[in-house]
Chains A and B, each alone.
Chain A
């Protein structure tokens, strides 16, 4: 292994974060492009078809003009998978992600969305107290770092719902809550998007899992067959609601339903819903222990 200083490695992570944030906003992933094109072949309503054709045209224009797909630069959410032997401590990784987010915002420039939650004063370049948000996972016997940037728009984030179902509600209760949440959200979260569902764990952890679920590549399935079955069933049910693209009515209400789960208390049955809009932006990088960065390595 090459010996390098942590400053170099911190700079590599910072550069990666700055690049990922802008890249995610401009160039949506191929799995999403495919899902949107597929949706356009299925939609039969006139306003729904108008919406989907406009979305496809918009993605093309963003490519051609090298512009952002959506003006909402969101809140920067990162997922980090940190190898046990990665030679930069997570405190430094966090600092590098924060500086990278700031640099991207100033240099592009990107719209700055972050405000103090009480005073509503803008806190600066899309960072602030406890922003950006980072999900951490620690990997034994590994010396690498995977970073995923998911700029999360507010229109879809505002459509987040939690219910503490009881065990007697069972899977039926889970299905009912997801269905009524998505119908209630209507056109507000920019459908058709990804419905992320977190089940089990605790109240806070269920919502954390729902956010993990929206960040998965479209159509990936939970490895647990019980959960994968629920993903399939909910996907079918959600597309029977008729909400349609942008809530104007139609056949395609969601592109996918992803579920993440955790074991829970015998008395608990928490269900969290986190919506991701059709502009489901996501970009990934792998940072090797020697500071070399490889982009577009999905996880």
Chain B
């Protein structure tokens, strides 16, 4: 954590989310929800209502490594984050229909996420992909597990402390670091191709 990092507790309000700007470093406390491809296919493509309230939620793109310790009870083994881009089409309904405030994953979301995030007051947090040993230490407990039959792509409720460092990749004001980096890189490619 650096002096410039911001802190947020989830669930969070729209106002708190709109204060963030692309490039900000953030640490998160509170409760976050683990979600992945099959979980969202079930909610949006198969029309199954999620078994918990997602209002104000922080969603983490994950399928954790866990050890079963009892009926519906799991302890963490290694919890990390997956590539977000595969799940971009769920951004709009997550904000519009469920009041989700933050989506966290690695690798960024394509530009089609920018407008729904601006419209509904959401952000995308970029985590460091692959840094799961660290992430595991920041997850205090797996509090709830729903849809165990989708293991490991269940709906997970984690309690976290000092979760991060996260970088605001897309803010609620139409800015995307990924869009900017990609635009600059495409320009650079033209220059590199001319030199070949």
Query: Could you tell me which A residues sit within 8 Å of B by CB distance?
Result: 46-47, 50-51, 54-55, 57-59, 61-62, 65, 67-73, 108-112, 120, 122, 153-155, 158, 172, 175-176, 179-180, 183, 186-190, 237, 240-244, 246-249, 277-279
Contact = CB atoms under 8 A, between A and B. Distances in A.
| Interface residues of A, dominant DSSP | loop
B62 interface: yes
Contacts of A72: 80, 82, 130, 132
Contacts of A278: 130
* B interface bracket (residues with beta carbon within 8 Å of A): 35 or more
A244 B185 CA distance: 10
Top 10 nearest A-B pairs (CB, nearest first) are A71-B80, A62-B133, A188-B107, A58-B131, A111-B65, A71-B132, A190-B129, A279-B130, A187-B107, A70-B130
Nearest to A172: B196
Given A186-B108, A188-B107, A242-B181, A180 B65 contact: no
Nearest to B137: A61
B151 A58 contact: no
A186 B136 contact: no
Contact of B177 (A120, A158, A188, A249): A249
A279 B133 CA distance: 12
Contacts of A277: 129-130
Nearest to A62: B133
Contacts of B186: 183
A68 B78 contact: yes
A246 B126 contact: yes
A155 B83 contact: yes
B63 A111 contact: yes
A248 B130 contact: no
Contacts of A240: 188, 192
A241 B108 contact: no
A46 B180 CA distance: 15
Contacts, number: 164
A272 to B, nearest CB: 19
Contacts of B62: 71
Nearest to B136: A67
Contact of A58 (B67, B108, B130): B130
A9 to B, nearest CB: 32
Contacts of A186: 107-108, 178, 181-182, 185
Nearest to B128: A54
B158 to A, nearest CB: 13
A68 B79 CA distance: 9
Given A188-B107, A279-B130, A111 B189 contact: no
Most buried by B among A46, A111, A112, A243: A111
B185 A73 contact: no
B2 to A, nearest CB: 8
Contacts of A179: 189, 192-193
